[in-house]
Chains A and B, each alone.
Chain A
C-alpha cells in the first residue's frame, strides 16, 4: 500500500513556497514546488500528486483556472486553494469547481494542519479500503504495551477490533494497569491517528476551571487572556478525547458532557459562535461505573452513551507471567534513558518480584525497576535494590514459624548470605542465625 502522500505547492512568492515546503517535509510528505501555474501544470502532467496546494492569485494564470486544468489531468487530486483575501465569491467558485477546501493567508498553524490532515485522511482511507481486502491487521505504535499473557493478548485483540470503529470505549482496570496506554493504542491504530489524542485527567480538574479547560475561551474573555485558547473538545477535532478518571466528575459536569457528546458542539467562554467538533471519546476508570449508576452517583444515560465497548485490563497479580518481560523492558528503557549499560536482574530478585502482589500494578513495577537501577551496583539488580522488605509481613497470612523462615531467608538473600551482616540486620548473634538456618533447612541457591 502506498504510504507517502505527495504534495505540490504552487505559489509565486518564494518565502511562501519555502515555508510550506519545510512545514510539509517535516510532516513526512513528498513535497514539490512550482512558482507559477505553467510550471505546476507541467509537473502535474508528468506525475500524479495526491494534494495540490495552490495560490489563487498568480501572474499569468490564476489558481481557479489552473485548478480546472489540473482536474483534466488528474481528477483524483485533492486541490486546496490559498487566498490572501477572505473572498467568499472566489472560495465558493473554487469549491463549485471541485476544490477540496480553501484557506486564507496567513494561516493559523492548527487550521493548516487540520485541513491537510483531513485531506490525508481521505487519501489514506481510500488506500486502506483497497488494501483491507487482503490485509491482516497488525497493531502499530504499541511499544509500551508489554506482555504475552492470555489476558493481554485478549486486550490487544479488543484494541485491534475497536480501533477502526468510531465507537465510544470505556477502559476499566486498577490504578497503574496502563489504561492510558490502551487508549493511545486505540487512537494510534484508528483512522483518526493523524489528528490529536487529547487526554483530560478529570480528577485533576476543578469545576471552576472546567468550562474554560474543556470548551476554551476567546481572547479577552477575562484578564490575561491575550490569545484565543482552544478547549480540549476543540483540540480533539478529528481525533480522540481520552477522559481519564471519568468516575470523578460531578453531576453538573456529567450533564454538560452528555450534551456535548450528543450534539458534538459547544461555545467558547466569552464567545457566541457555536463550534462543532468531530471527536471520538474514550474513557477510563478504576471504579465500578455500573455500581455507581445503581447508587445514583453516575448518570445512567451517560453511562450507556459511553459504554459501547468495554475493555477490562487485568491487574498485574493476575498475569504474573508478564513480569519477566516487563522487567526486561523497564531495565532497557531506564538504562537507555540514564545512558547506562543494560543491567541484568539477579534470579532471586526476579523470583521475589514474581511472588509480589503489586497493589500498584505495572506502574509500581516500573518505579521499582527505575529506583533499583539508580541505587544498584550498575551490574545487576539485586534483591536488596528492591523496596520489598516489608512485603513479607504485610501481605502474609503465614504462621509465626513460616514468617520467621521467610524473613530470615529474605535477609540472607539481601546480604548475599553474608552471615555476619545478616545476623546484625536481624539483631541476633551468628550462632543463633546458624541454628535458625538449620532449623528451617534454608539453603543458599
Chain B
C-alpha cells in the first residue's frame, strides 16, 4: 500500500503552535502531507501503578488498531512517561516497516534532569524522536553517522547531539522505500 501521508494523533494538551510546527517539519522531511488529529481514548487503563508509567506496547497497539488508516503512517504523541516491559523507559517506539508509532515528550524535558526548562530544545528533541520513529516505519534502521536522525539516542543529551535530518545514506534508503511503496501500489492496482 502506497504511503499517502502521515497522521500525528495527539493526546493531552499540546499547544496548537507546537503541533503545527511539528507537522510542518515532518512534512518537509518526508515530502508528504501531515495531518494532526486528537487522540480520543482514555488511557488510564494503560497506566502501571507499580512502575508509575504507561505501557507503550499496548498504546502502540491502540494507535495501530484505532487510529491508523490505510496508506497513512500514524504516530501517537503523548505527554506521559512511557515504558515497555523490558526497559525502564522509552522516548518512543514504532512498528518496524509498519504503520504506527508512539512517542512522548515526558523524558525529553530539561526540568526532569534538574535543568532550566527550554521549550525550543524540547521541540527540537521531540521533532527528532518523531522523525526517528517514522524512519523505522519506513524500514530505516539505526545509523552510525553521529548527526543522522536515525542515530539511536538513549538520553536527552544524545538526542541533542544529532540533527533532525537523515544522513545521505538514510535519505537514499528512505527514497528507495518510498519508491518501492509507490511501485507496489501500482502493481496491486
Residues of A within 8 A of B (CB): 13, 15-16, 18-20, 22-23, 25-28, 105-110, 112-113, 141, 143, 184, 187-188, 193-194, 196-199, 212, 217, 221-227, 229-230, 232, 235, 336-337, 339
**Does B141 make an interface contact (CB < 8 A)?**
yes
- Closest chain A CB from B50 CB (angstroms): 11
Given A188-B145, A194-B144, the answer on whether A19 and B84 have CB atoms closer than 8 Å is yes
List the B residue with the shortest CB-CB distance to A197.
B146
B141-163 vs A, Cβ < 8 Å mask (1 yes, 0 no): 11011110000101101100100
Q: List 10 A-B contacts (CB under 8 A).
A: A15-B84, A16-B85, A16-B86, A20-B86, A22-B93, A108-B154, A110-B154, A221-B114, A222-B114, A337-B165
Q: Is the CB of B87 within 8 A of A19?
A: yes
Q: Is the CB of B88 within 8 A of A106?
A: yes
Q: Apart from A28-B141, A229-B155, list 7 A-B contacts with CB within 8 A.
A: A26-B141, A109-B154, A184-B145, A194-B144, A212-B114, A222-B114, A235-B157
* Bound CA–CA A225/B96 (angstroms): 34
**What B residues does A226 contact at CB under 8 A?**
111-114
The 5 closest A-B pairs by CB, nearest first: A225-B114, A28-B141, A110-B154, A197-B146, A224-B114
List the A residue with the shortest CB-CB distance to B168.
A143
* Bound CA–CA A13/B86 (angstroms): 10
- Closest chain A CB from B72 CB (angstroms): 20
* Bound CA–CA A16/B83 (angstroms): 12
Q: Is the CB of A26 within 8 A of B155?
A: no
**What A residues does B144 contact at CB under 8 A?**
141, 188, 193-194
- Closest chain B CB from A115 CB (angstroms): 12
* Bound CA–CA A238/B152 (angstroms): 15
- Closest chain A CB from B121 CB (angstroms): 13
Q: Is the CB of A27 within 8 A of B141?
A: yes
List the B residue with the shortest CB-CB distance to A185.
B146
**Does B181 make an interface contact (CB < 8 A)?**
no
* Bound CA–CA A237/B180 (angstroms): 39
**What A residues does B141 contact at CB under 8 A?**
25-28
Q: Is the CB of B146 within 8 A of A188?
A: yes
**What A residues does B96 contact at CB under 8 A?**
22, 25-26
B66-90 vs A, Cβ < 8 Å mask (1 yes, 0 no): 0000000000000000011111111
- Closest chain A CB from B84 CB (angstroms): 5
**What B residues does A110 contact at CB under 8 A?**
154-155
**What A residues does B95 contact at CB under 8 A?**
22
* Bound CA–CA A13/B85 (angstroms): 10
- Closest chain B CB from A234 CB (angstroms): 10
Given A18-B57, A19-B57, the answer on whether A106 and B87 have CB atoms closer than 8 Å is yes
Q: Is the CB of B142 within 8 A of A28?
A: yes
**What A residues does B89 contact at CB under 8 A?**
109
List the B residue with the shortest CB-CB distance to A110.
B154
- Closest chain A CB from B139 CB (angstroms): 10
Q: Which of B86, B88, B93, B161 contacts A196 (CB 8 A)?
A: B161
Q: Is the CB of B146 within 8 A of A227?
A: no
Given A223-B114, A235-B158, the answer on whether A27 and B146 have CB atoms closer than 8 Å is no
List the A residue with the shortest CB-CB distance to B171.
A336
- Closest chain B CB from A240 CB (angstroms): 9
* Bound CA–CA A222/B155 (angstroms): 19
List the A residue with the shortest CB-CB distance to B135.
A26
**What A residues does B161 contact at CB under 8 A?**
196-199
**Does B44 make an interface contact (CB < 8 A)?**
no
Q: Is the CB of A235 within 8 A of B168?
A: no
* Bound CA–CA A227/B57 (angstroms): 23
**Does B136 make an interface contact (CB < 8 A)?**
yes
- Closest chain A CB from B182 CB (angstroms): 18
* Bound CA–CA A368/B26 (angstroms): 26
* Bound CA–CA A59/B115 (angstroms): 46
- Closest chain B CB from A339 CB (angstroms): 6
- Closest chain B CB from A128 CB (angstroms): 14
Interface centre among B31, B83, B93, B152 (most CB of A within 10 A): B152
Q: Is the CB of A27 within 8 A of B84?
A: no
Interface residues of B in 98-139 (CB under 8 A from A): 107, 111-115, 136
**What A residues does B83 contact at CB under 8 A?**
106
**Does B28 make an interface contact (CB < 8 A)?**
yes
Q: Is the CB of B85 within 8 A of A15?
A: yes
- Closest chain B CB from A26 CB (angstroms): 5
- Closest chain B CB from A424 CB (angstroms): 39
- Closest chain A CB from B124 CB (angstroms): 15
Given A22-B93, A188-B144, A224-B111, the answer on whether A27 and B152 have CB atoms closer than 8 Å is yes
**What A residues does B114 contact at CB under 8 A?**
212, 217, 221-226, 229
- Closest chain A CB from B75 CB (angstroms): 15
* Bound CA–CA A350/B155 (angstroms): 43
List the B residue with the shortest CB-CB distance to A338.
B28
**Does B167 make an interface contact (CB < 8 A)?**
yes
Q: Is the CB of B88 within 8 A of A19?
A: no
Q: Is the CB of B90 within 8 A of A339?
A: no
